[in-house]
Amino acid sequence: MEAIGLMRSREEAEMSGASQALSQALPAKPLDVDRIKKDFPILNRQVHGKRLVYLDSAASSEKPLLVLEAMDRYYRTTHANVHRGVYQIAEEATALYEAARAKVARFINAAGPEEVVFTKNATEAINLVAYSWGRANLAPPRALVTSEIEHHANLVPWLQLRNEKGTELRYLALGPDGKLDLSPLPALLEGAGLVAVTAASNVLGTLPPVRQIADAAHAAGALVLLDGAQFVPHLPTDVAELGADFLAFSGHKMLGPTGIGVLWARRELLEAMPPFLTGGEMIRDVRLDGFTTTDIPWKFEAGTPPIAEAIGLGAAVDYLCALGMASVRAHEQALTAYAMRSLKERYGDDVTIHGPAASEERAGVVSFSYKDVHAHDISQILDEAGVCVRAGHHCAKPLMRRLCVPATARASFSVYNDEADVDVLVEALGRAGALFG
């Protein structure tokens, strides 16, 4: 099956959904990036008279035609509210919405679609766990273990829980090699109820050994939540192999639209958790003296859900599966290695690359500092060359303090990037040094 320019019809998309398990298991093969680029309309535009080199996919990835067309087709032909109407287009909308859920479930090897809850983004998914499961299960003396490298989305909800419940927070520290120091983990797990860690750092690219962490947590009687926002779009994901109890990720980082995220959790956990938001859609019955909730996953999806966005996410899953996630991972790992090597060969000690030294130990993220040039100045100079990188603290201020830097510039890769993109970045960086260094 060819990877690109496929599945333009609904029937082809449905066939792709049925074959996701097979495509996830396919061996890695080289990606035809020149052909992939043609599937992303935004890459045709110029910025400041230069071709667009988009290296900010860790913040939000670009969208292929397949995703744009799936959402447009829904709005043009099938728009109606889901789960409510009994007329034809309402039933069609419901079928498309639930088909997207089934695609996501297969993509991460969930036991079934009922374990997939649609949210607004990964942040909302983590907050859902914190408010629903956390407030019922993490009161003192139960503690929570997290790490110094977390995105604010996997830290602030737990700080809020600590403020409300007095829950003790314990932290895995960052080692000098850019990886988490797991040596104190057994002590940190004593009396812990949950370990909430990233599966891939949005700043360092670090890939913690999540299965090792999960096995230790379960042996100590704790559950595991993984922030998969930077993992699921880039590596083959199997929730059983990861050993997770909860997994959160966002559609807009995996070639899908904004406004749609996913919380996966084991069925028995979801069934035991109270609803996070309440109102329409999530109820079975309402009386003046109380209410009963409907079944999972819908009891966590109050109100009109992001229907078009879910359909777009389903199309993004189709696209990634057509490429093969092993191929996606191999391509991005090679590109990360090339970027790190090119920066060091060109600029030597003037550039500091934060995170693990080996590309196989990190996701496709390269955060760097250059001379004494502020990250914002680097980003502005690169923008003049058409290069988009993120500059700032990347929603990880405690990690910035740990690294002793106010901010970093971050290049992050996806399936539509190649070595030519990296070459433009490396060449343009020299101008920042000439102007500000």
Domain range for 389 is 326-436
Among candidate residues 320, 339, 369, the one where a domain is terminated: 320
Residue 21 has pLDDT above 80, yes or no: no
Q: Which helix (H) or strand (E) holds 50?
A: strand 50-51
In-domain check, residue 389: yes
Catalytic annotation, pick one of 321, 388, 395, 404? 395
Residue 315 shares a structural domain with residue 330: no
In a domain, 144, yes or no: yes
Residues 278 and 349 in one domain: no
Residues 269 and 354 placed together within one structural domain of the fold: no
265/160 same-domain check: yes
- Give, as one character, the DSSP assignment of residue 155: T
Tell me if the pTM is above 0.75.
yes
Domain boundary among 301, 320, 339: 320
Domain check: are 316 and 332 in the same one? no
Parallel, antiparallel or unpaired: strands 143-147 and 192-198: parallel
Name the pLDDT band for 12 (thresholds 50, 70, 90).
very low
Q: What is the pLDDT of residue 15?
A: 40
What's the confidence (pLDDT) of residue 437?
Answer: 63
265 assigned to some structural domain: yes
Is residue 318 helix, strand or coil? Answer: helix
pLDDT value at position 429? 96
Give pLDDT tens digits for 22-55: 455 567 899 999 999 999 999 999 999 999 999 9
pLDDT, tens digit (0-9, with 9 covering 90-100), for 79-133: 999 998 899 999 999 999 999 999 999 999 999 999 999 999 999 999 999 999 9
pLDDT tens digit string along 172-230? 999 999 999 999 999 999 999 999 999 999 999 999 999 999 999 999 999 999 999 99
In 3D space, the residue among 259, 155, 134 whose CA is nearest the CA of residue 198 turns out to be 155
The reply to whether 217 and 98 lie within a common domain is: yes
Let me know whether 380 and 281 are in one domain. Answer: no
CB-facing half-sphere around the CA of 376: CA atoms within 13 A:
3
Q: What is the pLDDT of residues 341-380, one digit of tens each?
A: 999 999 999 999 999 999 999 999 999 999 999 999 999 9
67 occurs within a structural domain: no
Same domain, 399 and 309: no
- Residue 3 predicted with pLDDT over 50: no
pLDDT tens digits, 386-422 = 999 999 999 999 999 999 999 999 999 999 999 999 9
Residues 146 and 275 in one domain: yes
Q: What's the mean pLDDT in 147-155?
A: 98
Domain co-membership, 240 together with 133: yes
Q: Is residue 150 part of a domain?
A: yes
Domain boundary among 288, 320, 352: 320
Residues 289 and 363 in one domain: no
State the DSSP code for 7: -
74 vs 260: CA distance, rounded Å: 16
Q: Are residues 244 and 343 in the same domain?
A: no
Report yes or no on 148 lying in a domain. Answer: yes
Could you give the CA distance from residue 144 to residue 90 in angstroms, rounded to a whole number? 43
Q: What is the CATH number of the domain that holds 225?
A: 3.40.640.10
Q: Determine the pLDDT at residue 436.
A: 80
Task: Look up 321 and say whether it is catalytic.
Answer: no
Among 321, 412, 325, CA closest to 362: 412
Q: Has residue 371 been placed in a domain?
A: yes
Residue 14 in domain: no
DSSP string computed for 63-110: --HHHHHHHHHHHHHT---TTT--SHHHHHHHHHHHHHHHHHHHHTT-
Is the predicted pLDDT of residue 4 greater than 50, yes or no?
Answer: no
**CATH no. for residue 395?**
3.90.1150.10
pLDDT of residue 84: 84
Q: Number of folded domains in the chain?
A: 2
